Amino acid sequence: MTEQACPQSLSDTKKEMLAWDMIGIPVILAVGSALHFLFEWTECWAPVAAIAPVNESVWEHFKLSFWPGLLYAAIEWPSVGRRVNNYWVGKAVGLVLMPVIVGLGFYAYTAVWASSLIPNIVLLALAIAMGQWVSYRIAIAGRCRQWIAVCVLCALVLTAVAFAAFGYVPPRIFLFCDPLTQTYGIPQR
């Protein structure tokens, strides 16, 4: 008689996913921090503008959590994602939530203090941690309704398209304005 592999319990899957998501916090932060400089490192190569910040606007800094978080979610998926109910729904909510937290947090703290590197890094780390936590909680929850999943995944796709497009053709509103140069989008050379 051959011994069959015992499927992992839900409890083990939850623990494994939590470990993946907590490890993801410093990984996403490190990749996002490196991503901040990618446009310059590539000598302002235009295709990189889809994923890397092209200026110092708040909008462009949203990319620092979104793209590394999406990449990490794709790497995490084969290990634990297919074993939980709402993996991509949870990831989508977390990935959309991270930039929202960065934006709200940035405008809240700069209403009192001047923007500086350390608070910005701490804010990014907190946004990533909160996004990963919310993502985990949704992923392990009971199966969500299909229409909710479709709406959330559409929001993820629209967010990705917006991040990819608005570096090239940004709306002329405060969120997209580089505070150092008072310009929008890819700097003109």
Q: For 115-167, what is each residue's pLDDT tens digit?
A: 888 999 999 999 999 999 999 999 999 888 999 999 999 999 999 999 999 99
Q: What is the mean pLDDT of residues 167-187?
A: 93
The confidence band for 2, taking pLDDT boundaries of 50, 70 and 90, is very low
pLDDT above 70 for 83: yes
In a domain, 146, yes or no: yes
* Residue 185, domain member (yes or no): no
How much is the pLDDT for 10? 66
Dist CA 136 CA 20 (whole Å): 10
Residue 94 within a domain:
yes
Write down the pLDDT at residue 7.
Answer: 53
Distance (Å, whole) CA 124 – CA 11: 30
Decide if pLDDT at 6 tops 50: no
Mean pLDDT across the stretch 92-113? 94
How far is 79 from 180, CA to CA, in rounded Å? 43
Residue 138 falls within a domain, yes or no?
yes
- Predicted confidence at residue 189, as pLDDT, reads 66
**In the chain, pLDDT over 90 holds for what percent of residues?**
81
How confident is residue 1, by pLDDT bands cut at 50, 70 and 90?
Answer: very low
2 found inside a domain? no
Residue 19 lies in a domain: yes
The mean pLDDT of the chain is: 92
Write out pLDDT tens, residues 19-58.
999 999 999 999 999 999 999 999 999 999 999 999 999 9
Long-range contacts of 143-147 (CB under 8 A, 24+ apart): 143/85, 143/86, 144/85, 144/86, 144/89
d(CA 12, CA 7): 10
User: Which DSSP category does 1 fall into?
Assistant: -
pTM above 0.85, yes or no: yes
Q: Residue 185 is encoded by which pair of tokens?
A: 């989008």
- Per-residue pLDDT for 188 more than 90? no
Give residue 8's identity as a one-letter amino acid code: Q
Name the residue range of residue 170's domain.
10-176
Length of the chain, please? 189
Q: Is residue 1 part of a domain?
A: no
Q: Residue 59: inside a domain, yes or no?
A: yes
Token pair 């992923």 in the structure block, residue: 139
Distance CA 34, CA 40 (A): 11
> Could you give the number of structural domains in the chain?
1
Q: Would you say residue 63 has pLDDT above 60? A: yes
